[in-house]
Amino acid sequence: MVQQQLNRSLQQVNELKQKLQTQVNNQWSKANDEIRRILTELGADVSDTSNLGDIVSQIREQNPSFRQLMLKLDAATYDVRQKARWDAHMMSAYVWQKAETSYQRDLKPLVSNYREIAETRLQALISQAQNLRQKVASEDSNTSA
């Protein structure tokens, strides 16, 4: 019984690992392609497997001034920056929607239930206090008479 649960848990972990690895590999591939595109726009030849020093020297040759380098870097990374900004906005909207849904589905009914219980108990306490007050008042009137 315990071994079956462990096997199921291990299988779920392995499936999650495979799914995560696939997503990471896809993202890594996209990032690699984007970096190659940016380096190409900056003037580096990344078609062959160059080392970092060669890439830097190619970029320096194509961009003799710092100003030129910054202009090309700005132009080359514009799409990436806009996509990152868009993704951040969409992710925050998605998280907001999920939080709102979770609140409506899980938390709000729980809070409403606790509030109703508290109100019921408070009304019962108020009723008991009024009954005790009346009882004390009637006992005081009986003893004074």
pLDDT in tens, 21-74: 998 999 899 988 999 999 999 988 888 767 888 888 899 999 999 999 999 999
Angstrom CA distances, 145 to 12, 23, 117, 123, 137, stand at 81, 88, 42, 33, 12
Give the Cβ contact number of residue 76 at 10 Å.
17
42 close to 62: Cβ distance less than 8 angstroms: yes
Please give the pLDDT value at position 10: 87
Angle 97-102-103 from CA coordinates, rounded to 5°: 100
Task: Provide the 10 A C-beta neighbour count for residue 22.
Answer: 10
Query: Coil, helix or strand for 65?
Result: coil
pLDDT (0 to 100) of residue 137: 85
Residue 45 gets the label, from left (phi > 0), alpha (psi -120 to 50) or beta, of beta
**Band of residue 145 on the pLDDT scale cut at 50, 70, 90:** low
**pTM score:** 0.54
State pLDDT tens for residues 92-137: 999 999 999 999 998 899 899 999 999 999 999 999 999 999 988 8
pLDDT at 66: 93
- Model confidence band, residue 85 (pLDDT cutoffs 50, 70, 90): very high
Residue 7 pLDDT:
87
Cβ(26)–Cβ(45) below 8 Å: no
